[in-house]
Structure 1
Amino acid sequence: MTVVDTFPLLSERSLRRARLVSGLVMLVFVTLHLANHALNLISLDAAEKGRLWFTATWRNPLGSALLYGSVLVHILLVMRSLYKRRTLVMPLREAMQIILGLLIPLLIIEHVIATRISSELLGTPDVYASVIRSLWINSPMSGLRQSIALVVVWMHGCIGVHFWLRYRPWYHRAAPLLLTFAILLPVLALLGFASTGRILASEPLQSSLGSGYPASGSALKSDNAAYSSATVVGKERVRLAKFTLYGGFAGGLLTVFAMRTRRNWRERSDQIAIRYPEGQVVNVPRGFSVLEASRLGGIPHYAVCGGKGRCSTCRVQVLQGAASLPPAETTELATLDRINADPGVRLACQLRPTNDISVVPMLVPTLEAALPIGSQQTNPGREQEIVILFCDIRNFTMLTQSQLPYDIVFLLNRYFAIVGQAVEGSGGRLDKFIGDGAMALFGLRGSPEEACRNALKAAARIASEIDRLNDELSTELSMPLRVAIGVHSGPAIVGAMGYGNVKNLTAIGDTVNVASRLETVAKELDSTLVVSEPTILLAGSDVSELQSQEITIRGRAEPLRVYIIHEELTGRFA
């Protein structure tokens, strides 16, 4: 029985959740802290009032335990993850996240000492007037260092949130607002700091500090005599706290790398070989994951979630050595069950073989370093509820028999423009043209109900514009243009597929096949539009006057009820 089995709270999934939750607690603290700084743009008094609410939230026993407990848990889990990494070869985005995270304690310890700890041990005020005067006037280099720390802390938190949320269905809609917030908040905080700093620099020390400080020289001498001993003791404690924090962090980091070095020396004599389909062989110490071996050997290997077992993009088929593999743990089993993986398929990021094995990565990445971040071509794929629209010209071969090649190209381009503008004008995405047919996707963003309504609206626009084109070209066409449209909704795999420059966001799956079949049914029934029952009901359309029937779809056990809409009725969806 493993430690994970005995203590479920120590499972990889639980530890990842603890790291996420602790990080979110610290990000909430930083967000409120920056918002408080931004109040300086209103006035110093407004910022000071905001500080009272801020300190009341975080400087009570519960708030302090939550904040400092989160800091401790997060740092310990980061140290653990650094130790568990068998190689420091990693994608740039992962390296940047780690580097920024390690810089944060070095940048903010001085600030924590100067505010919270000095306030507790020396009784010095950490009011805005005092702190900003210290950073803006007395020690501007410290102010610059804290400004850099602010940006680093915020970037680290925002990157973490982005990688946590980036494949949530709603994230694409919220991303512009979140990005605006992520840029504005630190900018406003820095502007508030600078604004108050300039004001304080133009005022005498006494007036800016306020009535909380003794005004007369005799009072200052009396206070100094009374508290000089306590002040010396307090300063020693502050200095000790400073050395403890710096030393503790540095010692922890050095301990991690010392343990890694010791492990590496010990494992040099205990290596296994991992073989790849192109003949590459990577020798790694026993205990490395297959993904770490790929990275160490410079072999391209997808790992969209960063090697945390949240996705299946790094999966491999084990060709040799499967019998000696350690069993999959909870995280890996959940992902493999979700994709109905075949026997012998494992997640490369979770599989740590104990003997020589041969593997084949099942998703082979292309070189995408030159592609812009967030582009559709870098989308690794996910299952999503979408609506598929197929459109095709009926009797196109007969229509073009008497046409010149130039006329055919002209006609097709006019038709493609109609379809493209109708789809995009209705909030869809034109996927591809196939001969004289077209495929469009709806619901990549937005609700399924809205996607169904938009697809039907696009179909109505296509039918209407084809009629207008027929009127325009009535003297040139041997017969009027007529289209057949099929619309169906359901789950599909959406991702970037293709090769080289011919790589685009598209969809595959049973939903796509059914939509294509409905377009064929529209031709067979001599109708303009055939829509599946789930789609038209989800759109909220009135079906009382529409003709319906059940059809058999090849590959599906149950018949599918569809609604048959002739040309004169398509306008109801416009």
Structure 2
Amino acid sequence: MPKSSSNQIGTAWHEPLKRMRTGSGLFLFFYVLVHFTTHSLGLVSHEVLSTAGEVTGEFWGFLPITILLYSALAVHFITSLVGMAFRHTLQLSLREWIQAGLGLSIPFLMLVHVMGTRFASAKYGLEPSYSYVLVSTFITSPIYIGMNAAGLIAAWVHGCIGLYMWSRFKDWYHPWFEPVGLVLATLIPATALAGFLSAGRRVELLVQDPAFMEHYRAELNVPDPRTWTSLNADMDAARWGLIAAVLTVIILQILRRAARRRSKEITITYLDGPKVVVNKGGTVLEASQSAGVPHASVCGGRGRCSTCRVQIIESAVPSTPPLEAESRVLERIRAPEDVRLACQLRPEGDIKVQRLLPSDVTVKTAQTLSPWSNGREKTVTVMFVDLRDFTKMTETRLPFDVVYLINQFSKAMGEVVESQGGRIDKFLGDGFMALFGVDSDVKPAAQAALSSAGEMILQLRTLNQQLAGELDEPLRMGIGLHTGTVILGEMGYGSARGLTAIGDTVNVASRLEAATKSLSCILCISEDVITAAELDVPVSAQQEISVRGKRAKVSIFGINHPDELTIKETAAGPPERKLPDESDPGPPTPGQPNPA
């Protein structure tokens, strides 16, 4: 078994606990939905409501369903209490306090209803029909009219909040669900309460009929009048049990706070914020909340939204790897290895982090942000392409002709770049810059760039053939390739904002493209590209040139087609490369005129 820190072991149960709470909550929400739908039928008639109540009663009374229902109720209540007991901080948002408060109130509000029906049936043999529920509520104990209604509303609102918080981060979630859901969330309980009150008024008239009451008592099947006294005692015991459970949570929170105060202190440094000294064991997000550091957390620290993500700049102790739930979220946003969710990251020692999203970020804006929004370093292969003497060639042409030629060239070359997994960074008049390796490793990126260069040379020949009747002389181009580290990020403003790369690597690639003129070749690549792609190159083809801004000369290779290079042999043998057609004279060698 791989070695894990105590912190990792201590948090391993969080994920199954959340799954159990979510699964049981969804099942209970379905129960409440069916309950409300049944109540709504009271607007039709008491008979329809009673019939529907008997049908749903048979369904929920089926032993496997009953076991599943009450297991879900127990699991949801217990996991919620455990989650609250082991929270490192009780600094919750208003929405979280509302949901927690409603969740704790539901057992107390619905205790009499639950124990007076399902529990009484299981222990005392009562046959609680829907008429029994209405009579006991509206006739025997009218105080429970408000309690039952409040309990159902609390369960509905609590469930709606939970359902929204769970579903809005799913791939299938659509923004139009929100207005539709809001209408349904208001309409369903409104019609249910109206049906419930309508049925109550109807039963107030029915109890005046001796025949109805005789049938009611016979159907209820109360064998011993002392049943009610015993049932009330059971209800009191259940209330004290609930109170004890809540007090246990409070006591555990007090004990955990005391234990944390005696634990080792660590320092969390925010790159663009303060230094916070906290006790080890909590998450970075909890540290932010405790210290009042603005930190985005749309999902409330449940590891679903990714808005709290941070980049680890420095760490005195290696961080424990992310668990399954966090890994799924990080993979979804294509986060690099040094990015973690602050709500799941529990530092073992001093750590320096950078918050990657503004504190007021919303779900919608967070979903539109890419992994490059805040920028990071990445090793890529940069390609610069430029048409030779295009300005001179088009100075006597109409604007329409110039635009047409540039668009034809850009389309043909752009399609090649994208087919090889590259990205067009920007178009520069009669040329463009492309990036290879934004979403891939260094070696395949360099090889893809070389393959693209070869395909582009072939595409230029095809384009020249297609435009032969419109051109006085063939289009010619130069390509520069360089592999190195760049800063990748979304830069710009407004609609002009987009992913781009900056740094010395970009400058060198641009200089290599310009060097194709003096070397009389189509393609100029650096030694770094050769190394990254693992190629063999004849030493005679290697040259050194000076690049503005760099003290040392750059080793480059001026060639006319990547097929002049060969891939180094490995144990599996060398991969095949497409060789030029021997019947095709191809482009000239370095130092000769370049007609292509």
TM-score range, shorter chain: 0.5 to 0.7
Give the equivalent residue in structure 2 for 1:89. 91
Question: How big is the shift at 1:526?
Answer: 8.2
Q: Distance in 2 between matches of 1:311 and 1:253?
A: 29
C-alpha distance 124-210 of structure 1, shift in aligned 2 (>3 A): same
Among 419, 434, 440, the residue aligned to 1:554: 434
Among 243, 255, 261, the residue aligned to 2:248: 255
Q: Distance in 2 between matches of 1:32 and 1:521?
A: 67
Among 75, 92, 98, the residue aligned to 1:73: 75
Question: How big is the shift at 1:210?
Answer: 5.1
1:166-315 aligned within 5 A: 166-168=168-170, 169-207=172-210, 209=212, 212-213=215-216, 227=223, 230-232=224-226, 234-270=227-263, 271-278=265-272, 280-315=274-309
Residue-by-residue CA offset, 1:377-399 (whole Å, 9 max, x unaligned): 7633226xxxxxxxxxxxxxxxx
C-alpha distance 57-330 of structure 1, shift in aligned 2 (>3 A): same
1:373-388 aligned within 5 A: 379-382=364-367
What SS class does the counterpart of residue 120 from structure 2 fall into? helix
Stretches of structure 2 that go unaligned for 5 or more consecutive residues are 375-398, 416-430, 437-448, 460-596
Question: How big is the shift at 1:354?
Answer: 2.3
Residue type matched to 1:362 in 2? L
Give the equivalent residue in structure 2 for 1:501. none
Give the equivalent residue in structure 1 for 2:506. none
Q: Distance in 2 between matches of 1:114 and 1:530?
A: 80
C-alpha distance 175-318 of structure 1, shift in aligned 2 (>3 A): closer
Mapped contact 1:118–1:238 kept (Cα < 8 A): yes
Question: How big is the shift at 1:208?
Answer: 7.6
Give the equivalent residue in structure 1 for 2:30. 28
What SS class does the counterpart of residue 128 from structure 2 fall into? coil
Residue type matched to 2:364 in 1? N
What SS class does the counterpart of residue 294 from structure 2 fall into? coil
Report how many residues are paired: 396
Q: Distance in 1 between matches of 2:217 and 2:247?
A: 46
What SS class does the counterpart of residue 292 from structure 2 fall into? coil
Residue-by-residue CA offset, 1:19-48 (whole Å, 9 max, x unaligned): 111101111111111111111111111111
Give the equivalent residue in structure 1 for 2:473. none
Q: Distance in 1 between matches of 2:113 and 2:270?
A: 50
Residue type matched to 1:293 in 2? A
Give the equivalent residue in structure 2 for 1:101. 103
Residue-by-residue CA offset, 1:227-265 (whole Å, 9 max, x unaligned): 4xx432x33542343133222222122112211211211
Q: Distance in 2 between matches of 1:380 and 1:214?
A: 60
Residue type matched to 1:192 in 2? G
Mapped contact 2:317–2:348 kept (Cα < 8 A): no
Residue type matched to 1:185 in 2? I
Question: How big is the shift at 1:17?
Answer: 2.0
C-alpha distance 530-314 of structure 1, shift in aligned 2 (>3 A): farther
Residue range with higher mean Cα deviation, 147-156 or 173-182: 173-182
Among 116, 120, 124, the residue aligned to 1:114: 116
Q: Distance in 2 between matches of 1:359 and 1:154?
A: 40
CA RMSD, aligned part only? 4.0
Stretches of structure 1 that go unaligned for 5 or more consecutive residues are 369-376, 384-491, 499-519, 536-550, 562-574
Question: How big is the shift at 1:523?
Answer: 8.3
Question: How big is the shift at 1:157?
Answer: 0.5
Among 391, 394, 404, the residue aligned to 1:525: 404
Residue range with higher mean Cα deviation, 204-213 or 144-153: 204-213
Identical amino acids, percent of aligned pairs: 31
Question: How big is the shift at 1:552?
Answer: 7.9
Residue type matched to 2:321 in 1? P
What SS class does the counterpart of residue 283 from structure 1 fall into? strand
Question: How big is the shift at 1:126?
Answer: 2.6
1:117-132 aligned within 5 A: 117-132=119-134
Q: Distance in 2 between matches of 1:345 and 1:105?
A: 41
C-alpha distance 7-381 of structure 1, shift in aligned 2 (>3 A): closer
Mapped contact 1:322–1:344 kept (Cα < 8 A): no
Q: Distance in 2 between matches of 1:16 and 1:8?
A: 15
Give the equivalent residue in structure 2 for 1:12. 14
TM-score (norm 2): 0.59
Residue-by-residue CA offset, 1:368-419 (whole Å, 9 max, x unaligned): 8xxxxxxxx7633226xxxxxxxxxxxxxxxxxxxxxxxxxxxxxxxxxxxx
